Amino acid sequence: MHNRRIGSATISAIGLGGMPLSIEGRPDEERAVATVHAAIDAGISFIDTAMSYCLNSSETGHNESLIARALASYGGDTSDVLVGTKGGAARGADGAWSFNGDPATLREACEDSLKRLGGDSIGLYQLHVPDPNVPYADSVGALRDLYDAGKICAVGISNVNSDQLREAHGILGERLVSVQNNFSPAVRDSEPQMRLCTELGIAFLPYSPLGGTSRAGGLGSSHSAFARIAMEHDASPQQVCLAWELAKSPIVVPIPGASRPTTIRDSAAAADLKLTEAEFAELDAA
């Protein structure tokens, strides 16, 4: 597994998105844990989770607790695995999503996440989404304070535009190490944020890099260039997609979700796939 960086941490070039293990259509716990273990076996050392990855408010933190149990039961050294979680989004009793960037709420959410994940501090804590009812500077300032208090080791932001990224960077400085935005062959409107992250030396973490759980399997059918190039490399279209994203910038760390060991093994292998300049250009224009 090739390595990249999130702040001062050296991590795998491909991460694991934990969301599919805890939301609608999730696997049973045995398969979920096996998926996490398969990821680690494949060299993946970054796992992304969130307090809101659950079915509803009765099980807030489901994914964080699951990831913690999977790491504890791995049977090998997991000290190099960076777990990033997020606060600022939640699911209600009916499963509806809501957002709350109030500083006091974020501080409480961080404390709860820390208890579920264990340890002395959270490796990477991210503001899940800007709350339109709270000044963005106030929400970001809460994460700065959590960092300064030693509750978190690094700060990330998610679902942001370029102005919000610049504002957060101005408040956080070197504390800000990552931006997590939606990016895939079908969703490319975060290109400006990726370029800005490259300029600032901040990791860019594409979520749903294969198009999301419901579309990932059909990526080759929806985007023929990825399927054709995959045949030339004896690879899957999904591997070609992740290799394309990795080739866009050295700060990119895709975090494909997975609910089966075979899926995350396939994704991890993308780090070894090298595209030619012509192939990259074709995919970039597709």
Active-site residue set: 53
- Residue in the block written with tokens 């404390």: 111
* CA 1 vs CA 60, 146, 157, 224, 241: distances in Å: 32, 32, 26, 27, 17
* CA 26 vs CA 17, 180, 228: distances in Å: 13, 22, 31
**Cβ–Cβ < 8 Å for 57, 93:** yes
Beta-bridge mates of residue 99: 89
Within its chain, how far is the Cα of 113 from the centroid? 16
Which stretch of DSSP H or E encloses residue 232? helix 224-233
What CA–CA distance (Å, rounded) separates 162 from 169? 10
